[in-house]
């Protein structure tokens, strides 16, 4: 990277992470047990490695739209992607009911939330499209329990916030460390895993809508101002 590009990047990151200016609204902490955010996701297992990407449709306390136009993956300002340690699920057989599949993903997977001030066209089959912009929060997942049948799936897990960077968005200060410092518990409901054909090849996965609920508790160094 050239010195000019490096300097420009530092200037941009400094501007994004500056303290809130006078008159700017700071998004407050989400109450424990309340919805912190909603998002849409797509999970692909084949071909490997497993990939999960998505976009946010709602963040509690944010006044303006999270889309640059009609809601879609292509207009979303906030996207997310599993960025580390995702593994294949471990099957937990339920012999009395062959139609039900139960599996568990070990803890340790991490997903990152990205902010892109200039959304562009994205493809579900290209996970890199959902990693464009500035990373503003990183969550580490607990063990995930998945229940699925031939046509539906339901998953539950908790995620602790391990890193964050505040940004300015349409006159508001968004800081995940202030909004949900102890992380979130996520549930998602989607279709059963099924084969799909994209223009660039075959894969096997599932899509879902998901909700993140703020985890309670108070950090010793936390400020509610």
Residue written as tokens 């391990």?
A: 162
DSSP state of 123: -
Is 66:43 a contact under the CB 8 Å cutoff?
A: no
Within-domain flag for 71: yes
Within-domain flag for 220: no
Confidence of residue 4 (pLDDT cuts 50, 70, 90): very low
Within-domain flag for 224: no
Q: 89: helix, coil or strand? A: coil
Within-domain flag for 225: no
Tell me: pLDDT of 128 over 90.
Answer: yes
Tell me: pLDDT of 190 over 80.
Answer: yes
Within-domain flag for 36: yes
**Cα angle, residue 214 at apex, residues 211 and 219 outer, rounded to 5°:** 155
Give the Cα separation of 211 and 39 in Å (integer): 7
What pLDDT score was predicted for residue 91? 85
Domain coverage including residue 69 = 3-214
Confidence of residue 23 (pLDDT cuts 50, 70, 90): low
What pLDDT score was predicted for residue 3? 40
pTM listed for this prediction: 0.82
**Domain count across the chain:** 1
What's the average model confidence in pLDDT over 46-67? 90
Express each pLDDT in 131-159 by its tens digit: 999 999 999 999 999 888 878 989 999 99
């Amino acid at each position: 990277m050239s010195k000019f590009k490096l300097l420009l990047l530092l200037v941009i990151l400094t501007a994004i992470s500056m303290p809130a200016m006078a008159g700017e609204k700071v998004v407050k902490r989400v109450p424990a047990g309340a919805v912190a955010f909603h998002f849409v996701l797509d999970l692909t297992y084949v071909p490997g490695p497993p990939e999960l990407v998505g976009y946010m449709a709602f963040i509690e306390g944010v006044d303006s739209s999270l889309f640059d136009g009609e809601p879609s993956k292509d207009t979303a300002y906030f996207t997310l992607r599993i960025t580390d340690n995702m593994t294949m699920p471990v099957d937990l057989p339920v012999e009395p009911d062959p139609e039900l599949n139960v599996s568990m993903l070990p803890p340790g997977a991490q997903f990152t939330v990205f902010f892109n001030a200039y959304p562009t066209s994205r493809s579900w089959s290209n996970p890199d499209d959902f990693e464009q912009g500035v990373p503003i929060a990183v969550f580490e997942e607990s063990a995930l329990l998945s229940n699925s049948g031939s046509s539906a799936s339901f998953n539950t897990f908790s995620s602790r916030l391990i890193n964050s960077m505040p940004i300015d968005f349409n006159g508001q200060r968004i800081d995940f460390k202030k909004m949900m410092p102890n992380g979130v518990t996520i549930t998602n409901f989607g279709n059963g895993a099924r084969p799909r054909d994209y223009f660039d090849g075959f894969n096997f996965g599932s899509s879902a809508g998901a909700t993140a609920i703020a985890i309670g508790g108070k950090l010793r160094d936390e400020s509610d101002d």
